[in-house]
Amino acid sequence: MVVDKPGKTGVPEVKDMQRNQVELTWTAPTDDGGSPVTNYVLEYCEETAYRWLRAGEGESVLGTRYVVRGLTEDTAYRFRVAAENKVGLGPFSECLLSVKVKEPVGM
């Protein structure tokens, strides 16, 4: 059996938002490369920036849901995610279109 890096995950989607954090979900890759996915790497960057930052540096992301904290209110961000297995990190998903972080209406 050939073991390889996992395929692309689904595009992250916003499930909840507060003034300085966003909860994202995504679908697992349809191809795990023949080895179980052990971690997800979630990255974000400001809409006008080109430097991606890793969310939860040092944390393991085991499921397909994660809350990115420490964001700046009224700033637009892009998000992407990649699956990892024992062989390595697969390709990043397509980027979620820019999301402006803000307190939900009615709060």
Assigned domain for 34 exists: yes
Whole-angstrom Cα distance, residue 51 to residue 105? 30
In a domain, 6, yes or no: no
pLDDT at 107: 46
Position 7 in a domain = no
Tell me the CATH number at 49: 2.60.40.10
Model confidence, pTM: 0.90
- d(CA 9, CA 64) in angstroms, rounded, equals 9
Q: Answer whether residue 45 is part of any domain.
A: yes
Closest alpha carbon to 71 in 106, 98, 89, 95 = 98
State the residue range of the domain holding 73. 13-100
Q: What is the mean pLDDT of each run of 10 residues along the chain (107 residues)?
A: 90 93 96 96 93 90 95 94 97 90 70
Output the six-digit token pair for 7. 């395929």
Extract the tokens encoding 10.
Answer: 């689904």
Residue 95 belongs to some domain of the structure: yes
CA gap 45, 4 in Å, rounded: 28
CA angle 36–41–47, rounded 5-degree value: 150
The number of distinct structural domains making up the chain is 1
